[in-house]
Amino acid sequence: MKRVSHLTALALLVGLTSSCAGAADMAASVTLQQLQQRSGIAIDTRQSAFYNGWPQALNGPQGHEPAALNLSAGWLSAMSDEQLAEWLKQHKLAADTPVALYGADRETRAVSARLQKAGLKHISALADALAEPQRLQKQPHFEQLVYPQWLRDLQQGKKVAAAPAGEWKVFEAGWGTPKYYLLSHIPGAGYIDTNDVESEPLWNKVPDDKLKALLAKSGIRHDTTVILYGRDVYAAARVAQILLYAGVKDVRLLDGGWKTWSAADLPVGRGMPEKMTPAPDFGAPIPGQPQLMLGLEQARALLHRRDASLVSVRSWPEFIGTTSGYSYIKPKGDIAGARWGHAGSDSTHMEDFHNPDGTMRSADDITAMWKAWNITSDQQVSFYCGTGWRAAEAFMYARAMGWQHISVYDGGWYEWSQDAKNPVSRGERGPASSL
């Protein structure tokens, strides 16, 4: 029998003790009713797709426990201690707040360990998690944000939840030539250059006849399900929103874009896209949903109203006029009377809307963020940014959340700032400035 040194034995004992302590912490369990009686919070440790409403197995339960937060175990490696502390602060979780975790055993243990390290003292397992499907909450249109394994299963001909009703196609969307696509892309995906859906001088949507030509070339009819992804989510969102305007009935985004496919370690294609079989006819008038794209005067009509919001999806420095955000847009400031819808740190980021893995932040978080600026789902809401990309991403998230009366002001700040007669605001200001 192999001898074990005293130091090795001590190390093994410490490790075993630590492991048992962690197991003991999670051995305690409470029901949802017990947790609520203690004013506690449930935390879903699964990936956001399942939290949002995708079933983990066909015909399985869908959604998350009432008022549960989503802290996916898969995010932990991307979250510093400081970022986790900020997440806890945002969600008003203090050291003495009772929390109950649910998800796979390995997921809950990983999250429990990080929460303990962050100072939380009362961590339990949720004993009856997902046991009562009728009480679960989900995004009204969770299916509009697909996840990598669902798409892979669809490609392999497996039965999937929320399957396309008919023919479907996958496209990568990006600006210019497909240089990254050539090196790696989702197998079978086509490629759409954003230059084919928007054009100078203001980078607005192309005329409808050019849009019709792109759809025909890409083999897209009004009843084709189109699944889009991008290296940047907002590139795919820009194309998606324009396809919806054109009249494509079922347009979906890969939540988190190429990053999530790559992280899932799924197969990768290389080289030029396969030639698409052209569609002889779109099968419906274009545009099918003209109300999804607003012009300048329509946008102006939404200002200073309680039943409507013109929403700036720009960084705070852009909103207050510290920077224009673009090398080719010189004027600084923002539309006077617009409400700030958040975005990210600059004109190329959307962190305010993203989980640590790049997927859409929870609907509750986004709703609260918008409500603070008097932006609510019962209003007529139109999003804009500099030239449309970030606005389109916010639009697609609102659509998944079930918001009904939404659109994109296509011209955005670029168009508005071209005319000195259009009112502009600069400097620090709050929600009251839009009333």
Could you tell me the two tokens for 17?
């003790």
Choice among 170, 235, 254, 385 that is catalytic: 385
20 counts as catalytic? no
The residues assigned a catalytic role are 385
